[in-house]
Amino acid sequence: MKMLTCKDASHLISERQERPLGVRERWALRLHLWLCDGCRHFERQLAFMRQALRQLGRAAEADGADLAPEARERIRKALAERGRHEH
Amino acid sequence: MTENTLGTPDTWLDEHGAALYKYALVHTRDPHRAEEVVQETLLAALQAQDRYTGGASVRTWLIGILKHKIIDLFRRDAREVPLDDPEVPEGATEEEHFDATGHWCNAPSDWGNPEEMLERGQFMAILQRCLEVLPPRLARLFMLREVMEEDTDNICQEMAITPTNLWTMLYRARIGLRQCLDRNWAV
C-alpha cells in the first residue's frame, strides 16, 4: 500500500465528513494518523469545527413559536407596499 | 401545469409565516432578528416568484430562500468583530499549506481542549468573523453545509456542481477556517 502524504490525508479527513471512505482509504488513513501528530491535530480540529458550526446554527428550541401579531402586520404592509411597486 | 400553486404573498404569510419564523428563531436565537429575516425572505420571494417552478412545495421554496437570508444575516453580524490577523489567502489552496512532497508547511498544533472554549462567547464571535474572511461563494456553500446542515445532494443541485467539486470546496473552506482560527483564537 502506498503511504499517504499529509496532503492526501488531510483531504481524506475532510471528505470523511461527507462520504464513507473505502476500505483501503480507511486503512491508509489510520496508518498515517498513527504516525503523524500534525494530521491527528487536524482531524480533531475539523471535528471540533463541525461541532461549533452546528452550534452556531441551532441553539434555541422554537416549539410553538409564532410571529407576533404586530410583526405579522408589519410584514403584510411591507409585502403590499413592495407588491404595488412591482405592478 | 405545475404540481404546486404559488398563491399570493398574503397566503404565504398566513400559511407559512409561523413555520418560517420557527425556523428563523432556531437559527438566529433572537425574536427580532427572526422577524426581520422572515420579512426579508417574503420580500425576496415576491421578487423571485416568476422563478418558482412548482417542483417543490411553496414551503420548501420559501425555506430555501430563508436559509440564504439567515446566512446573509450571520455574515453581516460577523463584520462587527475585529480580528488580529484577518489574512486568509483568497481561495486558500493546498499549495500554501503543503510543501512539494505533500508535508505540512506548518503542521497543525494541539488546540488542547477546544470544547471548553465553546462555552465562552468570544469563540463564537471569532468563528463568525473567520467565516467572513473566506471568499464569498465558498463561505456561502460552506455555511449551507455546516451551519444550516443542508444535504450535500441539495447543495450540488442548487449550486450546479458535482460532489467532487463540493468536497474540494468544503476542503478549502475548512483548511482556510482552521488557519484563521489557529491565528486568531487558538492558544
Domain range annotation of chain A? 1-59
Query: Are the folds of B1-78 and B87-187 the same?
Result: no
Q: In this predicted structure, what is the pLDDT of residue B87?
A: 57
User: B1-78 has which CATH code?
Assistant: 1.10.1740.10
pLDDT single digits (tens) A13-56: 999 999 999 999 999 999 999 999 999 999 999 999 999 998 87
Q: In the 3-class helix/strand/coil scheme, how is B90-148 assigned residue by residue?
A: CCCCHHHCECCCCCECCCCCCCCCHHHHCCCHHHHHHHHHHHHCCCHHHHHHHHHHHCC
What is the rounded distance in angstroms from the CA atom of residue B65 to the CA atom of residue B62?
Answer: 5
CATH class of the structural domain B87-187: mainly alpha
Contact flag B107-A61 (C-beta cutoff 8 Å) = no
Q: With contacts defined as CB-CB under 8 Å, which chain A residues touch B178?
A: 42, 45-46, 49
Question: By C-alpha distance, which of B16, B15, B33, B13 is closest to B24?
Answer: B33
- Taking CA atoms, B58 is separated from A6, A77, B20, in Å, by 46, 21, 11
Helix then strand then coil, in percent of chain A rounded to 5, is 70, 0, 30
**Which triple of cell numbers denotes residue B83?**
480580528
- The pLDDT-based confidence of B15 (bands split at 50, 70, 90) is very high
Contacts of A8 in chain B (CB under 8 A): 102
Nearest to A35 by CA among A72, A5, A65, A80: A5
ipTM, two decimals:
0.80
Answer for the pair B141, B166: CB distance below 8 angstroms, yes or no: yes
* Residues in chain A within 8 Å Cβ distance of B9: 79-80, 83
Provide the number of CB pairs (under 8 Å) joining chain A to chain B. Answer: 155
**What is the structure's pLDDT at B112?**
84
Contact A18 B39 (CB under 8 A): no
Query: Where in chain B are the domains?
Result: 1-78, 87-187
| Nearest Cβ partner for A83 among B9, B163, B171 | B9
**Average pLDDT of the residues in B131-144:** 84
pLDDT in tens, A51-85: 999 887 765 556 677 888 999 999 999 999 888 87
Beta-ladder partners of A87: none
What cell numbers appear for A80 in the block? 403590499
Cross-chain Cβ contact A62/B25 below 8 Å: yes
Among B102, B109, B105, residue whose Cα is nearest residue B181: B109
